[in-house]
Chain A
Amino acid sequence: MSSVKIKLNPAEVEKLKEVCASFGNQSGELINVLHKAQSIFGYLPAEVQEIVAQELNVPVAKVYGVVTFYSFFTMIPKGQHPISVCTGTACYVRGAEKVLDEFKRRLKIEVGETSADGKFSLSCLRCVGACGLAPVVLVGEKVYGRVSADGVADILAEYE
């Protein structure tokens, strides 16, 4: 996992400190704080981890250990259009893997990565509750149903 260097602006630093404070700056709340931070920033760059470590008074090595342990956390910023492929059971048996492979091939990225131009990022999700439409793909908020590998190019074209 490589780290992305960013400079948080003072308002963002303040916001992050407030998040930590809302959990009482308790080291036991590390995972919850990180969840909240990720929901604000979309990802957990090194600087965010540094600040969380400072506020909660835990080693930054531990914060990084937690971030790398849980697949939910990411240190890579989401693309402008985050793509999520459902790999829940229903989608999986209906060929979600082929769809996923096609996205990987076309975008030249792996799951958890963001395309070089920052436009797309790729992730997997567990069942979104639209099994009737399997396999399901989400781009941002928009839901695509019964997607096949052949249809991937058309979906991407919508955002070019």
Chain B
Amino acid sequence: MEFVNLTIDNKTVKVEKGTSILKAARSVGIDIPTLCYMSLGDMNIENKPGGCRICVVEVEGRKNLAPACCTDAHTDMVIKTNTMRVLNARRTVLELILSDHPADCLICAKSGNCELQDMAHKLGVREIHYKGEMSTYKPDKSPSIIRDMDKCIMCRRCEMMCNQVQTVGALWGINRGFEAVVSPAFEMDLEKSTCTYCGQCVAVCPTGALTEVDHTNQVIRALADPNKTVVVQTAPAVRAALGEEFGLKPGTLVTGKMAAALRRLGFDFVFDTDFAADLTIMEEGTELLDRLGKFLNGDKEVKLPILTSCCPGWVNFFEKQFPEMKDIPSTARSPQQMFGAIAKTYFAEKIQTKREDMVVVSVMPCLAKKYECQRDEFATDGNPDVDFSISTRELANLIKGANIDFNLLPDEDFDNPMGDSTGAAVIFGTTGGVIEAAVRSAYELHTKKKLEKVDFEQLRGLEGVREATIDFDGLPIRIGIAHGLGNARKLLEDIKAGKSDFHAIEIMACPGGCIGGGGQPLHHGDSSILKARQIAIYQEDKNKPIRKSHENPFIIKLYEEYLGHPMSEKAHHLLHTHYFDKKNEFLIE
């Protein structure tokens, strides 16, 4: 390994050759402000288009200032990061950016969480000396995401996430100069593009250019309506991240406080998507064993591997990009939709309420769920099973807006019957969790033996693609795991080419799984936050008295009282779905 020695602000620095000035400076605790640059360390994701020039520094002997994020450190360089010239240049650059940016911070959805706003604050901009034409674009509202390109600063982070990480290719930089902007092909609406609504672009956008569609007002209106019974469900990953919005350390579990907050907000029943995750395992696990059984009996028709189907971002991905494989994923609906279907039938009957008078709200780490709950197949007579899906961030806003002091709340429990869940359900929130939960139940159902140890360490981790072989009492079951759609694509290409030997594959659209979902508190590229959330999820699993879905007493009761058995006709009707070929749906004529 070759090293270079240089001086930054009078400090001697030794770094590996090829390291940028920015990284060299940060390695010795010198911070250089950045705007377009972004690095998701552990995932090997780096965005450095060198576009914004906020990071300029003075290099002795060079006439021009150099952008630190995309200039390599060389031996004997003498660098100054905070001279008058540098500071003035940064302020000028920022003022130029701001001169083409709407100044509506007061009412912007990103306010308080905007990197451009922070930068203006940090550099002490009090006046914008440049006035000129402002670029305007037509606003674009899809079921999940709003694009307000007037606020785009062309950092191209979204393009990088959508193409390099997710390989979706919905967004790309178009035009040049003043008119340059990131856009779907032919400037069509996002809804018509290949977008999966994974929300990873929203999660990295430094400004208010990309935001989620906000449903908090609809929720408030439902809560205020005395004729509505309002039921809420919270996804597994929410409890491991919501606390961050209230200043708690990443990885703080706030399950009890979250339930208490929801009750204070006025929800009539505070339930848990985890209950539906247990139900998902019953259906998906049974389907897996069913297909596996047929396969082992030599049935040539049966499709393996079976792919999980609980992530709607992933469902959108294969419907749009791999429709020829749409009969491979499990037909089990996502936990959000299973919950809605059971809430508006079984539970509505129990409390003698008409489905029209019930409003089901879901709190999700996810933006794809906003679109999912609006799909036609998840409604009865026009009444959706899940009325509104809000993100973790939106829930935090609701709590703040209601003046609830979150950190002073007591720990409370979920209501019954749809609030009780097992450890298998909570791990749905992280990559590897769904398949581990499925294995716990499938193993016992298949071998009729009790698992000695329910922890399957070999399925855990944050590596993009993982595989493991689990011994089902003499039957080796091959398992694949991918998170991030780019990684999913690799496994799909293998299946397509007939090179896959897996029996079951878990796929999550977001890097890290739902803990890194597009609706979570922004991690601004700090992957230690993802790790902390993951640890919290496994901790919650450990804390649970029951850790296998098929042992959840309320699930057992639901089958006894209502559904019969997994994959029964009723279960099929309420808990399963079918997929569509959406590849050419949006091709322009």
Provide the B169-210 mask, 1 if CB < 8 A to any CB of A, else 0. Answer: 111111110000001111100000110000000000000000
Q: Is the C-beta of B588 less than 8 angstroms from some C-beta in chain A?
A: yes
User: Which residues from chain B contact A63 at a C-beta distance below 8 Å?
Assistant: 185
Given contacts A3-B186, A46-B186, A68-B175, contact A60 B169 (CB under 8 A): yes
User: Which residues from chain A contact B193 at a C-beta distance below 8 Å?
Assistant: 61
B172 touches A62 (CB 8 A): yes
User: Which residues from chain A contact B171 at a C-beta distance below 8 Å?
Assistant: 61
Residue of A nearest to B168 (CB): A59
Q: Is the C-beta of B127 less than 8 angstroms from some C-beta in chain A?
A: no
Given contacts A3-B186, A46-B186, A49-B185, contact A65 B588 (CB under 8 A): no
Number of contact residues on B: which range applies? 20 to 34
CA distance A47 to B589 in the complex (A): 7
Interface of B is mostly: loop
Which of B172, B176, B589 meets A64, CB within 8 Å? B172
Q: Is the C-beta of A106 less than 8 angstroms from some C-beta in chain B?
A: no
B551 smallest CB distance to A (angstroms): 46
B185 touches A60 (CB 8 A): yes
A12 smallest CB distance to B (angstroms): 15
Number of contact residues on A: which range applies? 10 to 19
A61 touches B169 (CB 8 A): yes
B185 touches A5 (CB 8 A): no
A7 touches B170 (CB 8 A): no
Provide the A112-151 mask, 1 if CB < 8 A to any CB of B, else 0. Answer: 0000000000000000000000000000000000000000
User: Which residues from chain A contact B169 at a C-beta distance below 8 Å?
Assistant: 58-62
Provide the A19-60 mask, 1 if CB < 8 A to any CB of B, else 0. Answer: 000000000000000000000000000110110000000111
User: Which residues from chain A contact B175 at a C-beta distance below 8 Å?
Assistant: 1, 68-69
Which of B173, B176, B588 meets A50, CB within 8 Å? B588
Q: Is the C-beta of B587 less than 8 angstroms from some C-beta in chain A?
A: yes
Pick the most buried of A1, A3, A64: most chain B CB atoms within 10 A of its CB. A64
Residue of B nearest to A71 (CB): B176
Q: Is the C-beta of B113 less than 8 angstroms from some C-beta in chain A?
A: no
Given contacts A3-B186, A64-B186, contact A59 B172 (CB under 8 A): yes
User: Which residues from chain A contact B588 at a C-beta distance below 8 Å?
Assistant: 3, 5, 46-47, 50
Q: How many A-B residue pairs have CB under 8 A?
A: 54
User: Which residues from chain A contact B173 at a C-beta distance below 8 Å?
Assistant: 65, 69
B582 smallest CB distance to A (angstroms): 15
User: Which residues from chain A contact B184 at a C-beta distance below 8 Å?
Assistant: 61
Given contacts A7-B589, A47-B588, contact A59 B170 (CB under 8 A): yes
B183 touches A61 (CB 8 A): yes
CA distance A62 to B172 in the complex (A): 5
Q: Is the C-beta of B216 less than 8 angstroms from some C-beta in chain A?
A: no
Q: Which of B452-486 contact A (CB under 8 A)?
A: none
User: Which residues from chain A contact B183 at a C-beta distance below 8 Å?
Assistant: 61, 64
Q: Is the C-beta of B163 less than 8 angstroms from some C-beta in chain A?
A: yes
Pick the most buried of A3, A61, A68: most chain B CB atoms within 10 A of its CB. A61
A61 touches B589 (CB 8 A): no
Residue of A nearest to B171 (CB): A61
B280 smallest CB distance to A (angstroms): 32
A64 touches B174 (CB 8 A): yes
Q: Which of B275-289 contact A (CB under 8 A)?
A: none
Instruction: Name 23 A/B residue pairs within 8 A (Cβ), A-sorted.
Output: A3-B588, A7-B589, A46-B185, A46-B186, A47-B588, A50-B587, A58-B169, A59-B168, A59-B170, A59-B194, A60-B169, A60-B185, A61-B185, A61-B194, A62-B163, A62-B169, A62-B172, A64-B172, A64-B185, A65-B172, A68-B175, A69-B175, A69-B176
5 tightest A-B contacts by CB? A59-B169, A65-B172, A61-B172, A64-B185, A61-B185
Q: A65-B172, A69-B175 are in contact. List 11 more A-B contacts (CB 8 A).
A: A1-B187, A3-B588, A59-B163, A59-B168, A59-B170, A61-B194, A64-B174, A64-B185, A64-B186, A68-B174, A69-B174
